[in-house]
């Protein structure tokens, strides 16, 4: 009773890994991780100083107290009260908006414009082919009509 599950499972696993979408997903995760460092640098080096011109450079410092007295230890644990750390939420939201804007304006928009140009070229090429085919068809019809007319007039003479 020997079962041949080993090679079949291994082949299936290899086929799964070699599918295009799995490889594309792995590449996207690696690029996304690298891209996160860029976005964090932009937030830390550009956005936080701009916010710092208005208030503080560290958005994590903004908070409200839901139940007084609010006391937070230096290590970040809450010792009393109920603080709402809305500054960290604002920072994460800004990071997300910046990431979305950079991805859209630097990747999605140019790619969609490129694909639209490619599609327009393809449609123009197909339109030219159809016009040529229609023109050839019209010329052939005219030749046929001329031959029919010649035959008709040739029969009348005889």
**Of 35-39, 69-73, 126-130, where does mean pLDDT reach its minimum?**
126-130
CA nearest neighbour of 17 among 26, 8, 30: 26
**Of 69-73, 119-123, 144-148, where does mean pLDDT reach its minimum?**
69-73
- Position 158 pLDDT exceeds 60: no
Burial of 106 (C-beta count, 10 Å sphere; 0-12/13-18/19+): exposed
Neighbours of 64 (CB within 10 A): 11
CA distance 92 to 53: 19
User: Hey, what long-range contacts does 15-22 have (CB within 8 A, 24 or more apart)?
Assistant: none
What pLDDT, on a 0 to 100 scale, did the predictor assign at position 40?
77
State the SS3 of 69-91: EEEECCCCCEEEEEEECHHHHHH
Predicted structure pTM score? 0.48
84, 64 Cβ separation under 8 angstroms: yes
Q: Tens digit of pLDDT for each residue in 96-144?
A: 887 788 778 878 899 899 999 999 988 888 877 766 667 777 888 888 9
CA distance 149 to 46: 82
The residues, any chain, with a CB within 8 Å of residue 146's CB and separated by 6 or more, are none
CA distance 61 to 85: 8
96, 42 Cβ separation under 8 angstroms: no
Question: Which is more confidently placed, 146 or 87?
Answer: 146
């Amino acid at each position: 009773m020997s079962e041949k599950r080993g090679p079949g499972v291994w082949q299936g696993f290899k086929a799964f890994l070699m599918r295009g979408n799995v490889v594309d997903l792995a590449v996207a995760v690696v690029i996304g991780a690298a891209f996160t460092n860029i976005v964090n640098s932009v937030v830390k080096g550009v956005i936080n100083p701009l916010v710092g011109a208005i208030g503080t450079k560290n958005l994590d410092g903004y908070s409200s107290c839901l139940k007084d007295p609010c006391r937070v230890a230096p290590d970040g644990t809450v010792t009393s009260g109920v603080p709402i750390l809305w500054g960290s939420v604002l920072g994460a939201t800004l990071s997300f908006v910046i990431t979305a804007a950079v991805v859209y304006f630097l990747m999605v928009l140019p790619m969609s414009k490129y694909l639209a140009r490619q599609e327009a070229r393809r449609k123009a090429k197909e339109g030219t082919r159809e016009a040529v085919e229609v023109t050839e068809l019209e010329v052939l019809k005219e030749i046929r009509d001329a031959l029919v007319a010649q035959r008709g007039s040739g029969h009348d003479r005889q």
